Amino acid sequence: MPRRGLLAYLPALTLALFLAPVATGLVGTWLPAFGYFPTLGGDSLTLKSWFVLFAQPGLGESLRLTILSGFLATLIAFLLTILLLAACHGGRLILVLRGLMAPLIAVPHAAVALGLAFLIAPSGWLVRLVSPWATGWQLPPDVATVQDPNALALTFGLVVKELPFLLLMTLAALEHVRAEERLAVARSLGYGPVTAWLKAVLPAVYRQIRLPLYAVLAYALSVVDMALILAPLTPPPLAVQVLRWFNDPDLSMRFVAAAGASLQLLIVAGSIALWRLGEIVVERLGRAWIAGGRRGGNGRITRLLTICLVQGIVALAAAGLLGLALWSVTRRWRYPDVLPSAFSLETWARQAPEVAAIAGTTLATGLAAAAIALVLVLGCLENEQRRGLSLTNRALWLLYTPLLVPQVAFLFGTQVLAIQVGIDATWLALVWSHLLFVLPYVFLTLGDSYRALDERYARTALCLGARPNRVFWQVKLPMLLRPVLFALAVGFAVSVTQYLPTLFAGGGRFVTLTTEAVGLAAGGDRRVIGVYAFLQALLPLLGFAGALALPQLLLGPRAQRRNLQAAA
Amino acid sequence: MIRRRLPVFSMLLAALATASGLCAAAAQAAETRPWAEILKAAEGQTVYWNAWGGDERINAYIAWVRDQVKQNFSIDLQHVKLTDTADAVSRVLAERAAGKKEDGAIDLIWINGENFAAMKDKQLLYGPFTKVLPNFDLVDFDNKPSTLVDFTVPTEGYEAPWGMAKLNFIYDSARVEKTPGSIPELLDWAKTYPGRFTYPAPPDFLGSTFLKQVLIELAPDPAFLQAPVENDSQVEQVARPLWQYLDALHPHLWRGGKGFPASGPAQRQLLDDGEVDITLSFYPSEASSAIANDLLPETARTFVLDKGTIGNTHFVAIPFNAKAVEGALVVTNFLMSPKAQAVKQSPEAWGDDTVLALSKLSDGDRQLFATLPRGDATLSPEELGPTLLEPHPSWMTRIEAEWQQRYAR
Amino acid sequence: MSVVNLSQEHGLILSQVEIRHAARRLLGPVSLEVPPGEVVTVMGPSGCGKSSLLALICGTLAPALSGSGRVLLHGEDISARPPETRRVGILFQDDLLFPHLSVAGNLAFGLPPAVHGRQERRERIEAALAEADMLSFYDRDPATLSGGQRARVALLRTLLSEPRALLLDEPFAKLDVALRARFRAFVFDHARAQGLPTLLVTHDPQDAADAGGPRLQIDAEGHIPGGRPAGRGHRPA
């Protein structure tokens, strides 16, 4: 059976496809960091670039911003997640929020950031709502609410974007730890709802969400696109500064950039280690707290507070996106007008050819990357099932590698490699670079559903005389249609979000809605930003809508017949 | 996808080894082919033009150029939008590092100043090529010497001029009564109206130009600036008034001088929002153009400084490893054509001054320029005042670095 | 009940079958013989490896488990064959009808490709449904069927695949008492009519009684008390 032979190689191929570029990229960045980059005359290993790096003006401030926003955002998103779940476990609200979070998770970081930027700016929507009648501000106040010196706007943006991710990951984890039973036992022993959750469920859930949490921390510490929009510029957080050094016309700065990229990796690794240390300390304290036996109150205040906060966050994100949509059809909208004074579809009309081309690239790249990832993941999962393997903890870490290693720490090295292989600035390289980040998400999305499918279906089919391939195509795949399409939509959304990989691998030749929106962010015309950012948010949402609607459509005739029969 | 089944490490080492072999300068040879031959070869080519994409009006103009060259020369022009031209330099460099001597990703770069100096110095440019371009002869070399000398660096045919820039200031006449006439007066103005002025953070080209403007106006002897930096003490001495000035100015800036807008257009947005009262511009008709595009209020106006402001020329250049050299040459020639130059100068489009000598044009072509509306917010050529020369790029590099050292930490 | 004169080569024969998980023995060694048309019942507490025994016969033993011994079907050793070529039908506690296919689609899935032509395949399926008094259910979505109907369709699907032996993994456990007896009879009648060697695992004594064939008991350690190979001779009168 040739197919089975191919299938056996798939996991190795998949790993190679997404780990080899990361590994070689890291080495290709470390070598210049230690002075080895012959083209620029660096042919011996030295520490010189590290000294230059540490002498860079503003490096300390960059590091402060990076670490502050990274830790603060992760911590806030995490606390909100667990407090919300603790306070509202099993309630209807969780379902409502889950429904609201799913679209939010699909909206690219850049669009969220651009929406927020307009919302919270001194001349933004929030101030306009109350000015000048309530505030007396005829002109916007001179307060840095965006690009503020402590990167709080960036922190807030990260919280908005990471909260849905953590919430959904935690909800998924809850299904693995028999949360209901744990909670019931704790409640029957007289514990208040929040305390019961924190003492009986959290310790088990935390183990499950540790990796996603590290991924959030790593992301928050090395984000570029959101930082370009929300973080201060003079100096910016480290990842943005590294990108600047890579692009410095003084070519010797490339060594410093490589050292900075390596420093970024160290920061992320160190931060994860620090977080781990924090876990151990909190665990110690937590044990004592749990052993103390205090039952806690009814949790009404916690509940009220977290619900308000989370709903506020969702509302702000939604308002930001609405603002973008509104800007895209605006002709004139000056401070302090609450709504545009003149509407026009001119921006859309003028940008139409450009937008069509860019949206086309975004769509094609996203679909290709998601489809390839899906094929690989399905192959790996099917192989896993046929051979009775199960994903080890170590393999899970491998899977998370591209999400834990900062992009800026290896993309330069990967680019040099891509040039050497001769695929640089090609669509192939672009899709491949997206694949690195799409694959893990598709795997994480589909893995559980795939493994959850009752294996007796497959056994029954085999005993009915169907070959394994037929079982795969005619039984498993149709039965898993929903999760498969959902994973495809997730993969697509992840691809749309990619900024740095598009920049590096696309060689500027391939422009996506994300690179365009972020590129325009520095330029100012909010009407045009509105067009691109709105579309950038819309495309992944359409993907999810499609993933939900398609099964209905495909199974439609039978579903209809079912209704008729039920009526008869 | 990794076709060659080499171990990862040896692949990387091979890449670096090949790259080191290419350290020697890439071949540079003058373009001498007849124009007709170039035109023919250019047909059907795709030209990737890496150009700063931070201003929508300029992007719209480039889109117009794209349609024109498609129609007239069957060239597929792709605008690769950069946030910083240095990105393109970086890219060409990365390609040479990997030994990519041809079929590079960039065919044409919008460039000038330090980026040109760097690329020319590193022999990353194709050419000299300007001599074969028919429209190059129409350029006004006599009155616009910066079309041949870019930030004191001779262009030597490695870049072709396509626009004239001159620093000017845009203000909202509804909020500002009296505009400052000099750099010292600007400081007084800022003290009177705290928080109402700022400038884009260097290395944004407008921000850097503002620094140079202050440097030239306050330096005891600006002549030094036309030659490369000699030593640290010279920089320290010449630039001292600049830093004293900025130290005095910054506390009175928008955000107390702790934050700066990312670019000129970003500051223009601040002006429109009412967060500041003055913005900087490089294009004399920018205010009119922005009003026409609903980006600034009708009351926006332009002012310049009495002793003159910095002016320069912007160019396009072709990387040494460009894939579509002929296409890039044809696009370049089109950019210098009277038609393209006239559209560019129109406030409806971009409002960027022509590099051509009107006296060298045919009557019909001259008419294209004569009929251009000037716009209420545009100053007449006389009002625009004298043009100050750009300092040598080495000054810029030093000053940008020092600015980072002082204010971005 | 069987009318055929049996020889050693006919029916399903397990010889010294053992199932291990790593070094631990889960079940066996078991030797037994199921003649055509006869139902042999294996009883035992849950977790004793009954289901694994059936999986071993089907060839779908979980990869973490290893089996040894021989499985002979009509004289042929099928132990090394892939499951889809063994032609051993199995019914589980749940009907496991494919939810994305209609009733007919499910039956067609079981029908071998050797039955050619649209018309003929349709006729075979209709005949099977008619025989179970379910002809009108041809186009129905399995989700709209009652538990008993679904169970019957599942059996028809298995029978249509033309198995040479039938394995029953507590297929009656989830049905209510009244239905259970009816469906039990339905299954056993069909198995006997087609002369299928049938192996039933259950922990319901009533199942075993109805099956009417020999009965084997497995204890919690996977041993068969007495350790005697079961065979024809043990059938109660």
Contact between A123 and B275 using a beta-carbon 8 Å cutoff:
yes
**Secondary structure in 3-state letters for chain B:** CCCCCCCHHHHHHHHHHHHHHCCCCCCCCCCCCCHHHHHHHHCCCEEEEEEECCCHHHHHHHHHHHHHHHHHHCCEEEEEEECCCHHHHHHHHHHHHCCCCCCECCCEEEECHHHHHHHHHCCCECCCCHHHCHHHHHECCCCCHHHCEECCEECCCCEEEEEEEECEEEEECCCCCCCCCCHHHHHHHHHHCCCCCCCCCCCCHHHHHHHHHHHHHHCCCHHHHHCCCCCHHHHHHHHHHHHHHHHHHHHHCHHHHCCCCCCHHHHHHHHHHCCCCEEEECCCCHHHHHHHCCCCCCCEEEECCCCCEEEEEEEEECECCECCHHHHHHHHHHHCCHHHHHHHHCCCCCCCECCECHHHCCHHHHHHHHCCCCCCCCCCCCCCCCEECCCCHHHHHHHHHHHHHHHCC
| Count of other CB atoms within 10 angstroms of residue C69 | 16
As a whole number of angstroms, the distance between CA A493 and CA A512 comes to 13
In this predicted structure, what is the pLDDT of residue A291?
82
Cα B391 to the center of its chain, rounded Å = 15
Instruction: Compute the average pLDDT of residues A354-368.
Output: 94
Over the stretch B119-175, which tens digit does the pLDDT of each residue have?
Answer: 998 899 998 999 999 999 999 998 888 899 998 899 999 999 999 999 999 999 999
Length of chain C: 237
Among A320, A342, A364, where does a domain finish? A342
Residue A13, min C-alpha distance to chain B (Å) = 10
Same domain, A277 and A393: no
In this predicted structure, what is the pLDDT of residue C230?
44
The topology under which CATH files domain C1-87+163-237 is Rossmann fold (3.40.50)
Chain B interface mutation, best of A9, A525, A527, A529, highest count of B Cβ atoms under 10 Å: A525
Same domain, A28 and A92: no
Same domain, A261 and A365: no
Buried b / exposed e along A181-209 (16+ C-beta atoms within 10 A): ebbeebbeeebbbbbbbbbbbbeebbebb
Same domain, A316 and A385: no
- Name A87's Cβ contacts closer than 8 Å, sequence gap at least 6: A193, A194, A197, A299, A302, A303, A306, A307
∠ CA A529-A532-A536, nearest 5°, is 130
Render A342-370 in DSSP notation, one character per residue: EE-SHHHHHHHHHHHHHHHHHHHHHHHHH
The topology under which CATH files domain B32-163+314-370 is D-Maltodextrin-Binding Protein; domain 2 (3.40.190)
Same domain, A317 and A234: yes
**Phi-psi domain of A222 (left: phi exceeds 0; alpha: psi -120 through 50; beta: other):** alpha
Query: CA dist B86 to A419, B89, B116, B269, Å?
Result: 19, 5, 10, 24
For residues A145 and A122, is the Cβ–Cβ distance under 8 A?
Answer: yes
Length of chain B: 409
As a whole number of angstroms, the distance between CA A529 and CA A226 comes to 14
Among A342, A368, A402, where does a domain finish? A342
Chain B interface mutation, best of A17, A139, A254, highest count of B Cβ atoms under 10 Å: A139
On chain B, the residues whose CB falls within 8 A of the CB of A235 are 404, 408-409
Buried b / exposed e along A393-426 (16+ C-beta atoms within 10 A): eebeeebbebbbbbbbbbbbbbbbbbbbbebbbb
Pick from A33-42, A103-112, A529-538: least confident: A33-42
Same domain, A8 and A86: no
Pick from A366-370, B360-364, C43-47: least confident: C43-47
Q: Which domain holds residue A451?
A: 1-42+345-568
| DSSP structure class, residue C181 | H
Same domain, A354 and A474: yes
Give this complex's ipTM.
0.86
**Residue A310's CATH number:** 1.10.3720.10
As a whole number of angstroms, the distance between CA B48 and CA A506 comes to 12
As a whole number of angstroms, the distance between CA A83 and CA A309 comes to 11
Task: Indicate the pLDDT class of residue A558, thresholds 50, 70 and 90.
Answer: low
* H-helix or E-strand spanning residue C65: strand C65-73
Specify the higher pLDDT residue, A307 or B183.
B183
Same domain, A220 and A352: no
Just give the CATH number of B168-311+386-407: 3.40.190.10
Number of domains in chain A: 2
As a whole number of angstroms, the distance between CA A76 and CA A105 comes to 17
Chain A residue closest in CA terms to C56: A459
As a whole number of angstroms, the distance between CA A173 and CA A196 comes to 17
Task: Indicate the pLDDT class of residue B221, thresholds 50, 70 and 90.
Answer: confident
CB-based contact, B94 to chain A, within 8 Å: yes
* pTM of the predicted model as reported, rounded to 2 decimal places: 0.86
Same domain, A253 and A114: yes
User: Looking at the partner chain, which of C60, C64, C144 has a beta carbon nearest the beta carbon of A459?
Assistant: C60
Specify the higher pLDDT residue, A259 or C24.
A259
Mean residue pLDDT of chain C comes to 82
As a whole number of angstroms, the distance between CA A124 and CA A106 comes to 24
For residues A290 and A84, is the Cβ–Cβ distance under 8 A?
Answer: no
On chain A, the residues whose CB falls within 8 A of the CB of B22 are 39
CB-count exposure of residue B29 (10 Å: 0-12, 13-18, 19+)? exposed
Among A342, A362, A392, where does a domain finish? A342
To 10 degrees, the CA torsion angle through A13, A15, A20, A25? 150
On chain B, the residues whose CB falls within 8 A of the CB of A500 are none
Over the stretch A462-492, which tens digit does the pLDDT of each residue have?
Answer: 989 888 889 999 999 999 999 999 999 999 9
Q: Where in chain C are all domains bearing CATH 3.40.50.300?
A: 1-87+163-237
Contact between B99 and A420 using a beta-carbon 8 Å cutoff:
yes
Same domain, A293 and A385: no
pLDDT at C234 > cutoff 70: no
As a whole number of angstroms, the distance between CA C18 and CA C27 comes to 6
Pick from A330-339, B324-333, C81-90: least confident: C81-90
pLDDT at A502 > cutoff 70: yes
Query: CA dist B120 to A37, A542, B111, B154, C207, Å?
Result: 21, 48, 11, 10, 92
Tokens representing C138 are 């041809």
Residue A472, min C-alpha distance to chain C (Å) = 13
Contact between A459 and C163 using a beta-carbon 8 Å cutoff:
no
Same domain, A275 and A154: yes
pLDDT at C3 > cutoff 70: no
On chain A, the residues whose CB falls within 8 A of the CB of C89 are 463-464
Bridge partners for B163 per DSSP: B314
Over the stretch B246-305, which tens digit does the pLDDT of each residue have?
Answer: 999 999 999 999 999 988 999 999 999 999 999 999 988 889 989 988 999 999 999 999
Same domain, A174 and A281: yes
Domain extents in chain B: 32-163+314-370, 168-311+386-407
